[in-house]
């Protein structure tokens, strides 16, 4: 009976741990970014002679949709990039650019990511777009049912990837209005493969007022 009780207790503890791992109890809490925080982020172009500039240049005139990529080689990130890129024709009609930021540049990882993403990509070396409070998902992600569902969804969609680079710091998607219009949508990835809803992105993008129109309205 003693060994039986220990075995049952161990199974119960494992079941409880699995249950808790699939709730939001142990997930890193996100902190909303302010426009001022985003504006002051330093980004670099990916040219041979990179140019450093403030992130506000991306949205100052026409607003922007910006993806903070968790890892360019991740097949889940490539899936989300493709989803956002499917909005490109409608974003172009609205005059709203599509951008991405990455936190590192390893070998050809960014280049290999570009077929999935139809916008310009910049380097955020200080990982500011992944803050203000940087969040990580470690190995707990691999026991979450939602993550496994996301894995199968992306695989069934024909996406593949690799294990190059840092992939534990979670990413997100922002829709930022022109000038001082503010952040119109902020999606923080809560687990691997937690994609933004493209419909929500488009709805937020439609609220953007280009600077010329905003000036005329005044």
Catalytic residues: 74, 77
* Token digits of residue 57: 């240049």
* Token digits of residue 47: 């040219």
Q: CB atoms < 10 A from the CB of 76, how many?
A: 25
Residue among 193, 37, 190 nearest 128 (CA): 37
**Dist CA 6 CA 56 (whole Å):** 59
Q: CB atoms < 10 A from the CB of 12, how many?
A: 10
Bridge partner list, 173: 67, 187
Backbone angles phi, psi at 159, to 5 degrees: -90, 140
Contacts of 145 (CB under 8 A, 6+ apart): 22
Q: Which three-class secondary structure state does DSSP give residue 58?
A: helix
- Is residue 181 a contact partner of residue 31, using CB atoms and an 8 Å limit? no
Beta-sheet strand order (sheet of 172-176): 52-54, 42-44, 120-123, 98-102, 64-68, 172-176, 183-188
């Amino acid at each position: 009976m003693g060994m039986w009780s220990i075995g049952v207790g161990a199974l119960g503890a494992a079941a409880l741990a699995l249950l808790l791992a699939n709730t939001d109890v142990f997930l890193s809490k996100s902190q909303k970014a302010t426009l001022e925080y985003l504006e002051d982020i330093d980004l670099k172009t990916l040219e041979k002679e990179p140019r450093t500039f403030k992130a506000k240049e991306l949205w100052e005139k026409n607003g922007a949709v910006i993806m903070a990529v968790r890892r360019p080689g991740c097949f889940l990130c490539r899936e989300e990039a493709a989803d956002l890129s499917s909005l490109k024709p409608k974003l172009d009609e609205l005059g709203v650019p599509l951008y991405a930021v990455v936190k590192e540049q390893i070998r050809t990882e960014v280049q290999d990511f570009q077929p999935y993403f139809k916008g310009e990509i910049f380097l955020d070396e200080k990982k500011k777009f992944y803050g203000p409070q940087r969040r990580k998902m470690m190995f707990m992600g691999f026991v979450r049912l939602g993550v496994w569902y996301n894995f199968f969804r992306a695989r069934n969609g024909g996406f593949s990837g690799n294990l190059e680079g840092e992939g534990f710091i979670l990413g997100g998607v922002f829709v930022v209005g022109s000038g001082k219009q503010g952040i119109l949508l902020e999606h923080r990835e809560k687990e691997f493969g937690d994609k933004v809803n493209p419909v929500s992105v488009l709805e937020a993008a439609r609220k953007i007022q280009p600077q010329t129109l905003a000036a005329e309205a005044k």
